[in-house]
Amino acid sequence: MPDSEPNNPHVPNDASLMARLRDGDHAALGELVRRHQRRVLDIAVRTLRDHTLAEDIAQEAFLRVWRSAADYVPSARFTTWLYRIVVNLCLDARRKRRALLAETPDQPDPQQYTAEAAMHHADRAAVIRTALDGLPERQRVAVLLHKYSGLSMREIAGTTGWTESAVESLLVRAYATLRQKLEGLDS
Amino acid sequence: MLCPSAEDLVRYVSGEAGADDAARVEVHLVGCPTCAETVAALRETWAALDAWQLDASGVDLTERVLMAVEAEEAAPRRHRWRWPALTRLAASVAIAAGLGIGAGRLVSQSAAPDRETAMADGVRDEIVHTLTSAYAATDSATGLALRFEPASRKEGR
């Protein structure tokens, strides 16, 4: 997925949009949303598997951007900061959902959706989702950001706050596990 | 030839490796069936993961986000508790007194030189004097009369 920040020098970059937002220009926020919402939603939907919740999380992430505009210092890429907000909100939402599901055992936990059930539905995407669900949380987040959001290992480190060597290690282990789980699945 | 690390092979398959690193891996793969097999398996896994596609292109959150911003701006701001001026003054004096007395105790407990102990005692005495003395003056900016009487003196009337 390509970066959504334009290279055209006549189009304002993210940092200048943040500067305008700091001065109260709501149109700048609108432009940031239009520019980055697709990636933000992609991360949220893949992490949460719930479109409605993902849209709420995406909205909250952009609201936090607006609320923090006055304190924003463009020391890192805007997207690194934005994705960090999104990932943290998603992980928090997952934890809350897990806690809620633990209190109401009658509700099926989507994370417990078995590989067998997915195979039964002959849905390759479901098999992949199931395989990803079986990964430990940090490995899963690393793969989602690496494979589907197109972030480099360094960018993942910046987004999650983990070290780059930790990200490397997480990805190597995750892809090895996925290799076993997806063996035989036609690509 | 030394094999590339597992991390380097992931970088190579994902397209993250630089041109030079990618060229080195490719040269290595020609003569190393083990790494070639690892790369083939990684490529297979990488391609298989492509089967999970999402399309969020039909969703536009712009209006929704801007409406939420406007709603938040229009909402009454949280009531900030306004301390009466005299309460603020009293709180400041109390904090200063606490700090002064605490500092005095700290200094006296730590076998400090007599001069420092005397200074701390002086600060404490000054604060105690301020809290127990009547005070009257005129604010030069507003012309208002400022007056303070200790509670004990009022009670004694």
**What is the enclosing helix (H) or strand (E) of B148?**
strand B145-148
Q: Which residue has the tokens 């298989």?
A: B48
Nearest CB to A59 within list B42, B53, B64: B64
For helices B6-14 and B19-31, angle between their N-to-C axes, nearest 10 degrees: 110
Is A60:B62 a contact under the CB 8 Å cutoff?
Answer: no
Domain count of the fold of chain A: 2
Which chain A residues touch B if contact means CB-CB below 8 Å? 26, 29-30, 33-34, 37-38, 41-42, 45-46, 55, 58-59, 62-63, 66, 124-125, 128-129, 143, 146-148, 152-153, 168-169, 171-172, 175, 178-179, 182, 185-187
Q: Which of A84, A109, A134 is the last residue of a domain?
A: A109
Chosen for mutation from B69, B73, B78 (greatest number of chain A CBs closer than 10 Å) is B69
The ipTM of this complex is: 0.80
Closest CA in chain B for residue A38: B56
- Is A29's CB within 8 Å of B69's CB? yes
d(CA A49, CA A124): 16
A79: domain CATH number is 1.10.1740.10
Mark whether A95 and A134 lie in a shared domain: no
Which DSSP symbol is given to B142? Answer: T
CA distance B53 to chain A (A): 8
Look at B16 and A172 and tell me if their CB atoms are within 8 Å: no
Same-domain check for residues A127 and A70:
no
List the pLDDT tens digit at each of the 157 positions of chain B: 699 999 999 999 999 999 999 999 999 999 999 999 999 999 999 999 999 988 777 889 999 999 999 999 888 765 444 455 555 556 666 666 666 666 556 555 554 456 666 666 666 666 555 555 555 555 555 555 555 555 554 444 4
Nearest to B73 by CA among A26, A114, A30, A44: A26
User: Final residue of a domain: which of A81, A109, A137?
Assistant: A109
B7 touches A at CB < 8 Å: yes
Residue B96 near residue B106 (C-beta atoms within 8 A):
no
Q: Which residue of chain B is at minimal alpha-carbon distance from A33?
A: B62
Is residue A63 domain-shared with residue A125, that is, in the same domain?
A: no
Expressed as residue numbers, the domain containing A137 is 113-187
The CATH number assigned to the domain holding A164 equals 1.10.10.10
Closest to A118 in 3D by CA, of A129, A104, A133, A109:
A129
pLDDT attached to residue A101: 74
Domain final position from A63, A88, A109: A109
Q: Where are the domains of chain B?
A: 6-48, 85-155
DSSP state of A144: I
Q: Which amino acid is at A187?
A: S
Q: What is the pTM of this model?
A: 0.68
Size of interface A-B (CB pairs under 8 A): 101
Is the distance from CB of A78 to CB of A65 less than 8 angstroms? no
Amino acid at A168: E
Regarding whether A142 and A104 lie in a shared domain, the answer is: no
Q: Are strands B135-138 and B145-148 parallel, antiparallel or unpaired?
A: antiparallel
- Give pLDDT tens digits for A76-126: 889 999 999 999 999 999 998 888 777 665 444 444 445 555 554 458 889
